[in-house]
Amino acid sequence: MPQIAQLADTWSSQVFWLLVFFGITFFVIGKGMVPKVMDTVAQRDGQIAADLAAAKAARDAADEQEEAWRVKENENRAAAQAIVAKAKDEAAKKSEKKLAAAQKRLDKKLAEAEVRIDEARTAALAEVESVATEAAQDIVKTLAGVSVTKPVAAKAVKEQMAHG
């Protein structure tokens, strides 16, 4: 086993060169280069974290704006609905008033017309009576040769008409 057989001859050289080369490795690579590599990693991690934070902030701001927009939108919609309702209300009131006026006018016209009809009917009845009276006088004179006075004839006619 050379490790033991050569120990006496080689240990000093082994230890010396190991210290030399491991020393170089430690001081040049470990102390000199590794911190820079890790620094780069840390920088990148920082950059990523910062970017993520910025993105999150932007998203939050966007959410906030959307929320504000939504609130405003809701307000606008409510206002619009109020205006529409008011207009509808007004229109309904107006049309109701108009309808009422028209109804009144119609009622009045109807009443007048009924009055006129009544008058016309009364006049017509009076006419029929007078005509019937004259006719009755004529018929009696012709058939019986009796001259009947007007009031008598009228009375008889009225009786007959009342009987129907």
Partner 1 sequence: MAAEQAKVDPMYQFTIEPLGGSEAWELAGYNIAFTNSAMWMLITTVVLFIFVLGGMRRQLVPGRWQMMVETFTGFIDNMLEANIGKAGRKYVPYVFSLFMFILFANLLGLLPLGVIGLHPFTFTSHFTVTGVLAIISFSIVLLVGFWKHGLHFFSLFVPHGTPLPMIPVIAPIEFISFMVRPFSLGLRLFVAMMAGHVLLEVLSSFVIDGTNAGAGFGLLVGLPSFILMIGICALELLVAGIQAYVFALLTSLYINDAENLH
Measured over the CA atoms of residue 125, residue 129, residue 134 and residue 135, the dihedral's sign is: positive
- Interacting span for partner 1 (CB under 8 A) from 31-39, 53-61, 116-124, 125-133: 31-39
Least distance (Å) between residue 45 CB and partner 1:
10
The SS3 assignment for 164 reads coil
**Binding flag, residue 6, partner 1 (CB under 8 A):** yes
- Interacting span for partner 1 (CB under 8 A) from 10-18, 62-70, 117-125, 152-160: 10-18
According to CB under 8 A, which residues from 43 to 82 bind partner 1?
43-44, 47
Could you give the dihedral angle defined by the CA atoms of residues 115, 117, 123 and 124, in that order, rounded to the nearest 10 degrees?
Answer: -170
Nearest alpha-carbon partner for 93 in 155, 62, 24, 101: 101
**Binding flag, residue 101, partner 1 (CB under 8 A):** no
Nearest alpha-carbon partner for 43 in 53, 55, 33, 35: 35
- Interacting span for partner 1 (CB under 8 A) from 9-17, 52-60, 70-78, 117-125: 9-17
**Binding flag, residue 22, partner 1 (CB under 8 A):** yes
| Rounded CA separation 135/154 (Å) | 10
Least distance (Å) between residue 5 CB and partner 1:
9
Exposure of 140 by Cβ count < 10 A (0-12 exposed, 13-18 middle, 19+ buried)?
middle
Residues that bind partner 1 (CB under 8 A): 1-3, 6-7, 9-22, 24-26, 28-31, 33-38, 40-41, 43-44, 47
